[in-house]
Amino acid sequence: MSEAAVMPRGNAVAVEVNELVRTDGRNRRAAATRRKIIEAAKAMIEETSEAPTVVGVARRADVSVRSVFQHFGDVESLFVTVADSMSKEIPVAAPPPADQPQEARIDALVEGLIQMFDKAVPLRVAAGQFVHHPALLERGLALRQQLRDATMEVFAPEFAVLSETAREELADAIGAALSLDAWIVLRRRDGLSLERAAAVWRLTLRALLAHGLGTAKQ
């Protein structure tokens, strides 16, 4: 017979309540530790643009290495979780209406992209060693499709006069020229300022749209 069965009902209830309190306390501490680990990894990525090591994260978060592995299992799972958390903090601007003048749409689209991409550069550079992780590949494909759809929506009048093949080619060209990797080349490899890199993208987008329209008139 259990202890709860022989003790007065009031005492049994007290035992149950105490156990719930202890469990809730453990859950809160575990959640707090998990948040500390994620925040430590995010700070290290933002500061260095490098994938943090488990040892480095544990030291930064002031927890044990064992605790990091208890929460995330391996460094890949930790990085994916941190990447998801950082991605939620990256600003995503609403695409400009398609009925605005083309130059206004070009300016608005480029401005929205660079605000998003400049914030994402440290994370993308740090993701180098995990670039082929299935979860990151899936998220990358989803982002590229989202940006492709937004581009075709913003420049719907320009795409409408093109053949299906020409539309796909123009969308591919814009997606390649105004990608996160292309932005990293301009900002990190070529060392361009934000203003100069943005000017390059506006010129590129303007030229691609003009080429597409020129093709349609032939």
Scan for tokens 């469990």, then name that residue.
23
* Predicted confidence (pLDDT) per residue in 38-64, tens digit: 999 999 999 999 999 999 999 999 999
What are the domain boundaries of the chain?
3-87, 90-217
- For residue 119, the one-letter residue type is K
Backbone dihedral region for residue 73 (phi beyond 0: left; psi -120 to 50: alpha; all else: beta): left
Q: The domain 3-87 belongs to what CATH superfamily?
A: Tetracycline Repressor, domain 2 (1.10.357.10)
- What local confidence, expressed as pLDDT, does residue 23 receive? 66
SS3 content of the chain, % helix, strand, coil (to 5): 80, 0, 20
Residue 12 has pLDDT above 60, yes or no: no
Which residue is associated with the tokens 């206004």? 104
Q: What is the pLDDT of residue 93?
A: 83
